[in-house]
Structure 1
Amino acid sequence: MTRLLGLMAALVLAVPVAAAELGDDGLHKTDWMRETFKDLRDDLAEAEAEDKRLMLIVEQRGCIYCTRMHEEVFPRPAIADYIRENFFVVQINLHGDTEVTDFDGESLSEKAAARKWGLLFTPSILFLPEEVPEGQSAAEAAVAMMPGAFEAGTTLDLLTWVNEKRYALDTDEDFQRYHARKIAERAAEKQD
């Protein structure tokens, strides 16, 4: 069964095409990341104008898990295309000094914002709702957070779960149950 799931995931998600390049700050850069002034309220408005979801990806120089995501997971066509089509991605440097304006109006460095949001590990991905209640920080408003590196199937399922707003449905299917159901569906499709 495990072998079948592994084979199925490889076929569904395809092979990575190319890894992201490193920028001068030592962080991976992709074509789906946006260069912004890091005023999260403006970034959210721009994401909404493009009918996309705002995604904050917090990374650091030398992070082996960030490298793994950028070399093995994000380049897969199904994932890269899904991000490009559905998400407005802003990169935050865990140790950076660039100013970030949080949703609550506080302006602080990237590293201070990461501490404020309680982020200790990289990569960490915060997914924001279409509207953030006044006075909330990014961490308080986030509808989901991906803490660390995950396999391609889990990553794509989380992106889909967030994009389809499944967190807001009045059901007992949280992300873990959704992900388990998607794994079973993919396995059943392979058996047919």
Structure 2
Amino acid sequence: MRTWIGAALAVAMAFPAWSGVAQMGDDGLYKEPWMRDTFKDLREDLAEANAEGKRLVLFVEQRGCIYCHQMHEEVFSLPDVSEFIEENFFVVQINLHGDTEITDLDGESLSEKRATQKWRVLFTPNIIFLPEEVPEDSSAIEAAVAVMPGAFSKGTTLDMFTWVAEKRYELDNGEDFQRYHARRIQERDDGNTD
């Protein structure tokens, strides 16, 4: 009996407590509750996102990606980040090396790995933010209003998602994302915001 309890305790201690981290899918990618399981026809996904009043965003990830793990463990697991994404975005996950067929916004059908090559995605995570309206001949990367390549902290991530949700890329006020983010950092440092 003691041996069994000791072994169970050793196994439990060997794995970190990832209660806030998404579950691992069969494809080796983390699955957040707000990620959508779609047919990966991006025109259909865009229409559904628009119908829900949300923005379509593509999360390109890969199995074994330590930076993807970091984002899921340290950023996406935070309630305020998770809630903001769920309320404002329609998230479709793309496997950098996957074979699942995608129909790109321009109508081309190809595997996930071919699509990510077409979109010039070189590493993960890579988050591609799309507008509500996309010309018929534009691919996802051509239509993107912003791309977030890599793992970032909560502040940077939430600022990027907010900047896109508020359509600040359309504003002609001279405040691109870098200036917006710098202002938000200063506001947080001054205690004026979360």
TM-score between both structures, scaled by the size of structure 2: 0.89
- Name the CA distance, whole Å, in 2 between partners of 1:114 and 1:133: 20
Shift of 1:17: 6.3
Matched-pair contact (CA < 8 Å) for 1:43–1:54: yes
- Name the CA distance, whole Å, in 2 between partners of 1:152 and 1:185: 15
- Name the CA distance, whole Å, in 2 between partners of 1:182 and 1:98: 39
The correspondence for 1:50, drawn from 52, 66, 89, is 52
Q: 1:115 to 1:17 in 2, by over 3 A?
A: same
- Name the CA distance, whole Å, in 2 between partners of 1:154 and 1:129: 20
Matched-pair contact (CA < 8 Å) for 1:117–1:138: yes
Q: How does 1:28-47 map to 2 (within 5 A)?
A: 28-47=30-49
Matched position secondary structure for 1:91: strand
The correspondence for 2:125, drawn from 119, 123, 129, is 123
Matched position secondary structure for 1:88: strand
Matched position secondary structure for 1:100: strand
CA-to-partner distance for each residue in 1:121-170, whole Å, 9 max, x for gaps? Answer: 10000000001012000000000000010011000000000000000101
The correspondence for 1:151, drawn from 150, 153, 159, is 153
Code of the residue aligned with 2:81 in structure 1: it is I
Shift of 1:26: 0.2
Matched position secondary structure for 1:75: coil
Q: CA RMSD in A?
A: 1.3
2:78 is the counterpart of 1:76: yes
CA-to-partner distance for each residue in 1:55-90, whole Å, 9 max, x for gaps? Answer: 100000000000000000101111000000000000
Gapped runs of 5+ residues in structure 2?
A: 1-17
Code of the residue aligned with 2:141 in structure 1: it is A
In the other structure, the counterpart of 1:107 is: 109
Structure 1 or 2, whichever has the larger Rg, is 2
2:123 is the counterpart of 1:98: no
- Name the CA distance, whole Å, in 2 between partners of 1:48 and 1:190: 32
Code of the residue aligned with 2:90 in structure 1: it is F
**Higher normalized contact order (CA 8 Å, seq sep 6+, divided by chain length):** 1
Matched-pair contact (CA < 8 Å) for 1:17–1:76: no
